[in-house]
Amino acid sequence: MTTLEGMTPGTWTLDPAHTEVAFSVRHAGISKVRGVFSDVSGELNVAEDASQSNGQVVVGMNSVDTKNETRDNHVRSAEFFDVENHPQMTYKITGLELNDGEGTVTGELTLRGVTKPVKLDAEFNGVAVDAFGTTRAGFTASTSISRKEFNVTWNAALEAGGVVVSDKVRIDLDVEFTAPESAN
């Protein structure tokens, strides 16, 4: 049974200052490049039956940061995210299945104009009231996707074999939401 103990029904607002949307992808087959997005917004509509909850997370693709400006500009280009034509990535939450705080979030990921179902392995970290009286709920979630399934196909062959960027991309989220009464 899905439970979100301490989360009252209603629309909880994503707190971008306490949220991280990150990714990692294998580079040259030997290491990983990591990146984060600083422009994140969203909401979680908590239902009486928590499994019927839904919501959305929106990521501004121009906010990508891989700690290398040249690479960031390449990733923003038409060869990767094509932010000029696809400025946002969205994840529409269609359901939750959590038992004892762990389980899956189901939803639809839209990236570069392609929408596909994606399940996240998720953990509900609970609810707390912060020092300022704001009620907060925290979640962590992760998944791996094939970037080629979302038309992110640029690559280059390496002289010794293999390619510069792997197809598999890991996505990791640490998300905080504030309670409906805290948004006022």
Better pLDDT: 157 or 32: 32
What percentage of residues in the chain have a pLDDT greater than 70? 85
Of residues 173 and 75, more confidently modeled: 173
Find all residues with CB under 8 Å of 38, minimum gap 6, and list them. 16, 60, 63, 65
Of the candidates 55, 54, 79, 74, the one whose C-alpha atom is nearest the C-alpha of residue 64 is 74
Q: Considering only 11-20, 84-93, 146-155, 157-166, which range has the smallest mean pLDDT?
A: 157-166
Residue 10 pLDDT: 94
Encoded tokens for 111: 């990236």
pLDDT per residue over 21-70, tens digit each?
A: 999 886 655 668 889 999 999 999 999 988 899 999 999 999 999 999 99
What's the mean pLDDT in 140-163? 68
pLDDT at residue 3 is higher than 90: no
Whether residue 160 is predicted with pLDDT greater than 60 in this model: the reply is no
Q: How far apart are CA 37 and CA 57, in angstroms?
A: 12
- Give burial (CB, 10 Å; 0-12/13-18/19+) of 71: middle
The rounded radius of gyration (Å) of the Cα atoms in the chain is 18
pLDDT digits (tens, 9 = 90+) for 107-127: 999 999 999 999 999 999 999
CA dist 14 and 56 (Å) reads: 9
CA atoms of 46 and 49, how far apart (whole Å): 8
Domain 10-178 is found in CATH 2.60.40.420: no
pLDDT range class, residue 156, cuts 50, 70, 90? very low
DSSP bridge pairs for 107: 93, 118
Q: What span, in angstroms and rounded, lies between the C-alpha atoms of 122 and 120?
A: 6
Residues 79 and 122 sit within 8 Å (Cβ to Cβ): no
Q: In the chain, pLDDT over 90 holds for what percent of residues?
A: 62
How far does the chain reach from its first CA to its final CA, in angstroms? Answer: 31
Mean pLDDT, range 88-92, rounded to an integer: 96
Confidence of residue 154 (pLDDT cuts 50, 70, 90): very low
Average pLDDT value for the chain:
87
pLDDT of residue 5: 83
